[in-house]
Chain A
């Protein structure tokens, strides 16, 4: 435990100074500020942020994460020759990746909203859900990036795989859903589509946000199914649980790869 904290402290110092992380935080800051000025109310600004969140967070996290793990190779080798457990080092490095990116997002979005005194009773839930979804997506794609970097040794290949997974989950996925609905139009699709939502963390995050927004136009097909079958807070909980699993499963595979690999 002690060692984990030391590693986290070191990585935090390192990553927070990274200009890409700073730029990432500034991006959310400026975007939220602009949306508040143009759109007016907090719910409308958050609504506009939704698509930025579900597209940009996975992209930045998976790319930055893959580069981060390959870049920390030297640090890893240095520490593993010391009395440091591989598990402790892994958890420390993972926290050193996910915490700064999450903090950049949370601060970037909430600071303008708080400055505009935009938090009211009804917008508070929405803001919290938005922050939860963003942090969850950061954890999920941080875990996927960790797994990629642990399995694919070549830096460029790993980056290619990362971009491929991002493209599949954000862009190709909608096509797949569409194809499914058309191809099986004459059968009941609710249950299969509900199951499919859980197969894609990006979709889960989108559902998590749209469930509370009452805007069926933004939901998409899976969101509508989700809302009908698991409406209300049970749906929210299910989505959060799905996202937690999406962090845990790739993360555990990555941990196993990290423990057995040769340095």
Chain B
């Protein structure tokens, strides 16, 4: 679904991605893990076209990303920190987004709105809502249009355990329906239950990419959290050795 080859990006003098290579398979849940500032969010935003890569190529199916906007019809995005126009309500944002997405996806997926019981707050201005409530609206919006690819940036941050559970169940159901999900998090135990494939980022390169079983085997650990901690330690040692 996504093929990234040698993607480079620096912000001013700060290098963020240093030749990132990553394949995301269709119909899988791929977890992007890595410490803060390892380039997870930047990669997501490059796939969305919000950030322009300095070099490298990203393919979305057979389409090479080139500044065109059409392919984004097939992506649902849940940003890490949702920033909305202050005076809009959740309902306004949803109809606005639906409006610019044109007719195609006429059947909306309102499941998360119901499960999160968002009905009563949808008409309130978003600035009056709590962070957790905004995050739930944010999630519902990403799933609203039955997109082929879902990019979820730290989706469970700021959600209570019940809501986080609802969201993870929803992710599993979407995978069963054939959708592809890229999810980032640094809370690794969160992804342990849902991720099929793990991509470990450090200093802007993918240090490991494979199924969770492969990761567990290659590090000899029993739990994903330990395995990723191992990778971080190895990475840190390599960094010192350099």
Residues of A at under 8 Å CB distance from B? 2-3, 6, 10, 14, 72-75, 77-86, 259-260, 262-263
Contacts and interface: CB of A to CB of B under 8 A. Distances in A.
Contacts of B69: 83-86
Interface in B57-107: 67-73, 75, 77, 79, 83-87, 93, 96-97, 99-102
Interface of B: 11, 45, 48-52, 67-73, 75, 77, 79, 83-87, 93, 96-97, 99-102
B4 to A, nearest CB: 17
Nearest to A262: B51
A83 B101 contact: yes
A78 B99 contact: no
B100 A75 contact: no
A2 to B, nearest CB: 8
Contacts of B93: 78
Nearest to B11: A262
A262 B79 contact: no
8 contacts: A14-B87, A77-B83, A78-B96, A80-B50, A262-B11, A262-B45, A262-B52, A263-B50
A81 B100 contact: no
Contacts of A259: 67
Given A6-B100, A14-B87, A259-B67, A83 B48 contact: no
B83 A74 contact: yes
B50 A83 contact: no
Contact of A74 (B48, B71, B85): B85
A198 B169 CA distance: 65
Contacts of B101: 82-83
Given A83-B72, A83-B73, A259-B67, A3 B100 contact: yes
Contacts of B49: 80
Contact of B99 (A6, A73, A75, A263): A6
Contacts of A260: 52
B153 to A, nearest CB: 11
A78 B85 contact: yes
A10 B52 contact: no
Contacts of B71: 83
Given A3-B100, A78-B93, A262 B50 contact: yes
A96 B69 CA distance: 22
B98 to A, nearest CB: 10
Contacts of A78: 83-85, 93, 96-97
Nearest to B50: A263
A227 B109 CA distance: 66
A260 B86 CA distance: 26
A83 B70 contact: yes
Nearest to A263: B50
A100 to B, nearest CB: 16
